[in-house]
Amino acid sequence: MSADYTVQGDVAVIALNNPPVNGLGLSTRLGIMAGLEKAIADDAIKSIVVTGAGKAFSGGADIKEFGSPKAIQDPNLLSLILALENSPKPAVAAVHTVAMGGGLELALGCHYRVVAPGCSVALPEVKIGLIPGAGGTQRLPRVIGVEPALNMIVSGEPIKSEMLAMLPGQKLFDKLTASADSLMEEAIAFARSVADVRPLPRVRDLPCKHPMGDAYFQFARNMVKGMSKNFPAPAKCVDAVQAATKKKFDDGMVYERELFLGLMVTPECRALRHLFVAQRAASKIPDVPDNTPVRAIKSVAVIGAGTMGGGISMNFLNAGIPVKILEMKQDALDRGIATIKKNYEAQVKKGKLKEDKYNERMALLSTTLSYDDIKDADMVIEAVFEEMGVKETVFKKLDEVMKPGAILASNTSTLDVNKIASFTKRPQDVIGTHFFSPANVMKLLEVVRGEKTAKDVLATVMAIGKKIKKTCVVSGVCDGFIGNRMIEQYSRQAGFLLEEGCTPQQVDKAVERFGFAMGPFRMGDLAGNDIGWAIRKRRYQEKPHMKYSKTADLLCELGRYGQKTGAGWYDYQAGKRDAIPSKLVEDMIAKHRQDLGITPRKVSDEEIVQRLVFSLVNEAAHILEEGIASKASDIDMVYLTGYGFPMHRGGPMLYADQVGLFNVAQTMSRFAKNPLDDGAFWQPAPLLARLAAEGKSFNNVN
Ligand code: NAI
């Protein structure tokens, strides 16, 4: 059982002991209950202190138990809290470091709460698509007031204990201790001081009202609706807190439970829970243990001050790591530095960055034209032109000058990292760091593991990626790595859809209704259609058997590269970004169909979404089977953080699981029969076919 029981004179101390955050899984609950029963049965004990051993009071429910029989096995969280509340001897929570979700709810079940300063207090359930389900929505408003409680519950954000202790009239904390170190001593003294108080105060007995009544909740509901498109939980938080003001406590608890269970089975909740688990899983690499030693990265060099080099540098400067940028010519350096300054200054202007922080960051930045100046850097990231010849020159030079043990990273988006490594005599130190543009903004970092990349190099880059606040996902070496290899199939489908009868705006709208921030054609106009054109030209040489729609090439031949040329798939008015459907493009597509002898057909929005999303899924299944990605959830992380896949769908793999792989495979087989599509591509990938036949899901490959 994961709770310790000790006695200090007439006070029993129950300490949750389930590292790292004292999650309230079954064995912790059993431990607390056993301690409580023991304390109640012992006549020498007058009061009880409940606390958390180690680095938390409690981080809350054990998310891995959700949906499993263990979650409801007695004592469940509700019955445990009730037992504390009904204890005939005073129960005092000694709260420190972290009190979140079920942890805070547990403390609210105690008669008193003593808290250390610096403790993060939150009900974060909304972040995984739920509402607090063990009385949080009913008890928190009673102790800190309706509005502060609703704000905490709807946002899920932590607030420091000393801030909460300052709220006027608050009854959440009976005592804020002088320091974290004195918590136990002060909590035990407090427990002694209330040993004879009867009746014992219970949060459930406190009144709960808002002076504006229902009008306030209507206002809150409107606010929440605007902010939480696609997610049902925030509105349910409002309903639950409103119930606290209208219903008797026990009825409010029943209502909270109903809402909680209703949300638990929604696809949105499943998606957010998946994301929560996937985020943590992404940093785990099957054959690289957590305790792999990492190399110290105290300074970084960046080669190339272009679009990517500048953004990459900013990430390290923001984390307080000095950066030296190397270029071939001074004017390229000047341009790069000016862009970095412009980006920071825009943040200062918006009030997002303080002037002194900006100065601190710029002071960490230096430039050079000489490799001699970067030889002592712990890590170097190359972001020069995407040409193997240029990469070869740079890596040969790096091999010559860099100190032993330095990590040599390439930001290449398409080139073979193994080949780049082969230009050096230290391929074990070479790795790919594929940042996304704009590199100072985008969360995703694909960490590309070469055949010879050393495990400690991989572990170091994952750690430094976390330090610069990126979501790191490991990819093996292949053309396009995980993300771009999949997006190529998606773009191909978008092209076929135009030939078969769609307009760009129809495709975009269907995909945007599904939840993508932008459809493929608006996206193309934003990124520049010439980029895809260049890639296709290469593909026509490399993969002559691969079928492509030529529509996008015709568009580029007209010079319509997108927003930067004032016209692309859509028309644009000067200085504006609104995409206006283009008659010229429509005619161009119609003429192209005619030339190919295609009679256009009406394509449903459902087919559009399926063709685009399932194309991602099928390619992803190949990627998984080839071991380029080690888990299906890593692929979801790539798409959620790098490609704007709708968060409430949980990524392409979870989406496919929710549709059912059998259905997905059937639909693909149907698409394979379409003569205008690429039949060979639509053969379900062997892994997908196997899982579908066995009635399994991608989740089984996590
Ligand atoms: P860019 O053309 O904006 O910048 C490249 C810079 O490298 C230029 O300033 C150039 O002067 C400098 N350079 C070229 N050869 C050099 C050498 N031998 N020594 C020192 N500096 C040299 O290119 P961008 O877009 O920043 O791309 C850089 C790398 O990042 C490429 O490998 C590209 O594939 C990759 N990438 C680009 C993304 C994008 O969206 N632009 C996204 C992800 C990766």
Distance 399 CA to ligand 1 centre (A): 19
Distance 484 CA to ligand 1 centre (A): 17
Q: Dihedral, CA atoms, 64, 65, 68, 72, nearest 10 degrees?
A: -170
In ligand 1, which atom is closest to the CA atom of 412?
A: 32
- Residue 103 near residue 121, CB atoms below 8 Å: no
- Residue 450 near residue 418, CB atoms below 8 Å: yes
* pLDDT at residue 342, rounded to an integer: 96
Q: Is the pLDDT of residue 13 over 80?
A: yes
The encoded tokens of residue 167 equal: 């709220």
In percent, the amount of the chain with pLDDT more than 70 equals 100
- Residue 480 near residue 414, CB atoms below 8 Å: yes
- For the segment 446-451, the average pLDDT, to the nearest whole number, is 98
**pLDDT tens per residue, range 23-40:** 999 999 999 999 999 999
The encoded tokens of residue 593 equal: 């169909």
* pLDDT at residue 65, rounded to an integer: 84
| DSSP string computed for 6-51 | EEETTEEEEEE--TTTT---HHHHHHHHHHHHHHHH-TT--EEEEE
- For the segment 506-512, the average pLDDT, to the nearest whole number, is 98
What's CA 625's distance to the chain center, in Å? 24
In percent, the amount of the chain with pLDDT more than 90 equals 94
pTM: 0.90
Q: Where are the beta strands (DSSP E) in 53-194?
A: 91-95, 98-100, 112-115, 120-122, 159-160, 175-176
Output the ligand 1 site: residues, CB below 6 A.
303-309, 326-328, 332, 383-386, 390, 393-394, 411-413, 435-437
- For the segment 118-138, the average pLDDT, to the nearest whole number, is 97
* pLDDT at residue 1, rounded to an integer: 86
Give the β-pairing of 570-571 and 580-581. Answer: antiparallel
> Confidence band (pLDDT; 50, 70, 90) for 227?
confident
> 332-345: buried (b, 16+ CB within 10 Å) or exposed (e) per residue?
bbeebbebbeebbe
* pLDDT at residue 226, rounded to an integer: 84
d(CA 649, CA 651): 6
In ligand 1, which atom is closest to the CA atom of 310?
A: 26
Q: Is the pLDDT of residue 11 over 90?
A: yes
Tell me the range of 66-80, 512-526, 535-549 where mean pLDDT is highest: 512-526
* pLDDT at residue 294, rounded to an integer: 97
Distance 304 CA to ligand 1 centre (A): 6
> How far lies 579's CA from each of 165, 482, 521, in Å?
51, 29, 10
The per-residue pLDDT of the chain, averaged, comes to 96
- For the segment 57-82, the average pLDDT, to the nearest whole number, is 89
**pLDDT tens per residue, range 312-348:** 999 999 999 999 999 999 999 999 999 999 999 999 9
Q: Where are the beta strands (DSSP E) in 55-189?
A: 91-95, 98-100, 112-115, 120-122, 159-160, 175-176
Residues tagged active-site: 105, 125
* pLDDT at residue 434, rounded to an integer: 98
Ligand 1 pocket test, pick from 325, 371, 385 with the greatest ligand atom count within 8 Å of Cβ, gives: 385
Q: Is the pLDDT of residue 67 over 80?
A: no
- Residue 677 near residue 546, CB atoms below 8 Å: no
Q: Going by CA atoms, what residue is nearest to atom 25 of ligand 1?
A: 307
d(CA 112, CA 85): 10
d(CA 179, CA 335): 50
Q: Going by CA atoms, what residue is nearest to atom 29 of ligand 1?
A: 383
* pLDDT at residue 113, rounded to an integer: 98
- Which range among 47-56, 484-493, 525-534 shows the weakest confidence by mean pLDDT? 525-534
d(CA 699, CA 569): 37
Greater model confidence, 362 or 534 = 362
Asked whether the CA dihedral 73, 76, 80, 83 is positive or negative, the reply is: negative
- Residue 160 near residue 116, CB atoms below 8 Å: no
Q: Is the pLDDT of residue 670 over 80?
A: yes
- What the chain holds in terms of domains, given with CATH numbers, is 3-264 (3.90.226.10), 300-475 (3.40.50.720), 483-701 (1.10.1040.50)
- For the segment 73-96, the average pLDDT, to the nearest whole number, is 97
Distance 382 CA to ligand 1 centre (A): 8
The Cβ-side half-sphere exposure at 256, using a 13 Å CA radius, reads 28
Greater model confidence, 414 or 457 = 457
**pLDDT tens per residue, range 156-185:** 999 999 999 999 999 999 999 999 999 999
